[in-house]
Amino acid sequence: MLSPLVAGYDHVLLDLDGCVWVGDEATPQAAEALAALRAAGKGLAFVTNDGRHGVEDFVRKLWGLGMQASVEEVVTVGAAVQFMLAERYGAQRAPAVVIGSPTIHRHVEAAGLRIVNGTDFVARAAVAVVSGHEAFDFAELRDATTAIMRGAEFLATSRDPTYPTAAGLWPGTGALVAAVETATGATATTIGKPEAGLVTTALDRLGPGRALFVGDRLDTDLAAALNAGIDGAVVLTGSTTLAEAQSADPGPIAIAPTLADLVLGHTA
C-alpha cells in the first residue's frame, strides 16, 4: 500500500545512485517500493546523471536487484548527450574530444562525431565532452584543455561532485569538470541534472499527469525537479543529510530515510 503522499501522483521519477541503489546493493526494500508503485498503476521513470553505463546496463542491474524495468523507462545523460551532439554536429562528422567511459565514447560516435583524443586533430575539435569515469588521466585533461582553449564547445554531463558507493562518497563528474574549468578558465554547459532536460524527456514518455521526482541530492535531483516544474522529494541514503534537506530553500516536498519509507508510508 502506498503512502498518502505518493498515492496522490500519477507518475514517479527516480534517481538511481543513492536512491534506488548504493554501489551494487539496492537501498532497503527498494524492490518492494517499486513493486508497490507498479501495482498501484503509477508511471515510472529512472533518470540518471551516470554516464558510465548505457540504458541496457541499468535495466540489467535493476532486474538483477529484483526490480522490473524496461529500456523505455530509463533516461540517461549519455543518451541526452548523443541527441544534442547529433543535432548540432552529426551531419558535419565533427571532431570531438571526450573525457568519459566507453559508453560515453559510443554515444558520441553514434551521434556521428569523430573522437580525436591523442591525435593531431585535438586542436581542431568542435566540442569537448566531459563525463566522470574511473580511468580519468592526464592525457584526457590535456586534450580537453587544448581543445577548449582553441575554441571547442565545452559540455559536461553533470556537475555532481561525488556519487555514493558502499565505501563512501567517490569523486563524480563535477570533480573532473572542475579540473578542466580550472585549466581553461571556461565554464561548461551542463546537459544532465540540475538542468530540466532529462526530467522533461521522462515526462514526455510518461504522458499527462501529476509527477514526483525522488532523489538523494539537493543540487541536482531536487533542482532538476524544480527546474522542470514538478515536486521533488529527498531520501537520505545517498549524499544529503537530514539537516541539509531540512534547511534547503526551496525545500523538498518530503524527506524520508529511504525510498521505501517514502513510498510505503514513513515520511518526515
Q: Which residues are catalytic?
A: 15, 17
For the chain, report the end-to-end CA distance as a whole number of angstroms. Answer: 18
Distances, alpha carbon 262 to alpha carbons 12, 174, 213, in Å? 11, 28, 12
Residue burial 172-209, b: 16+ Cβ < 10 Å; e: rest: bbbebbbbbbeebebebebbbbbbbbbbbbbbeebeee
Alpha helices in the chain (DSSP H): 4-7, 30-39, 55-64, 77-88, 102-110, 138-149, 173-184, 197-206, 223-228, 242-247, 259-264
Angle between helices 77-88 and 102-110 (to 10 degrees): 30
